[in-house]
């Protein structure tokens, strides 16, 4: 369907923009609202999981050591973001094209250095995030790289 195609494209573009927003927030070293007030994050990232196919999280790691992934209850949720109507996360793939259940794209402060982790460890220099329209099955993807490059494919 046309709306499925448009919404899949919009979701991919918005995801790419949100990855850039996390990178910019890490480079700008902006404070985030922690449990005890404003705090300078050690890293800012995006967490997306197959367990939650219609939302993803922008988060900040505020305590050392940082582990380059989202930890519920420890890390600060900056924003919960939603995909477009009728769209859901389809697949997460690592650099070797293997399937993942979680991807964390994390930028350290203040240098903005990027890492890509699953729920436990690095998954290489890039990840492919695929979104799919419920109707028509149209797929749009975002490739993110540790070089900082983010592209809608």
Q: What is the pLDDT of residues 41-95, one digit of tens each?
A: 999 999 999 999 999 999 999 988 999 999 999 999 999 999 999 999 999 999 9
Question: Which H or E run includes 21?
Answer: helix 2-28
How far, in Å, CA of 84 to CA of 20, rounded? Answer: 19
Can you tell me the mean pLDDT for 26-51? 92
Residue 1 has pLDDT above 80, yes or no: no
In the chain, % of residues over pLDDT 90? 83
How far, in Å, CA of 95 to CA of 117, rounded? Answer: 11
Predicted pLDDT of residue 98: 98
Residue 59's closest CA among 92, 26, 36? 26
Q: In the structure, what pLDDT confidence band is assigned to residue 136 with cuts at 50, 70 and 90?
A: confident
The least confident of 6-20, 29-43, 101-115 is: 29-43
Can you tell me the mean pLDDT for 101-105? 98
Angle among Cα 117, 120, 115 to the nearest 5 degrees reads 20
Residue 135 has pLDDT above 80, yes or no: yes
Predicted pLDDT of residue 79: 96
Q: Are 131 and 92 in contact (CB under 8 A)?
A: no
Most confident of 26-30, 64-68, 138-142: 138-142
Q: Are 71 and 48 in contact (CB under 8 A)?
A: no
Q: In sequence order, what are the beta bridge partners of 129?
A: 92, 142
């Amino acid at each position: 369907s046309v709306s499925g195609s448009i919404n899949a494209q919009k979701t991919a573009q918005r995801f790419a923009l949100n990855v850039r927003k996390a990178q910019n927030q890490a480079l700008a070293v902006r404070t985030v609202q922690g449990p005890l007030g404003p705090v300078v994050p050690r890293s800012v990232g995006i967490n997306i999981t197959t367990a939650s196919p219609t939302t993803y999280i922008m988060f900040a790691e505020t305590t050392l050591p940082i582990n380059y992934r989202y930890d519920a209850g420890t890390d600060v949720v900056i924003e919960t973001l939603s995909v477009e109507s009728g769209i859901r996360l389809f697949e997460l793939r690592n650099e070797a094209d293997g399937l993942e259940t979680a991807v964390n794209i994390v930028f350290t402060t203040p240098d903005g250095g990027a890492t890509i982790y699953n729920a436990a460890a690095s998954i290489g220099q890039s990840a492919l995030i695929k979104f799919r329209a419920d109707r028509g099955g149209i797929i749009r993807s975002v490739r993110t790289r540790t070089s900082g490059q983010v592209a809608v494919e």
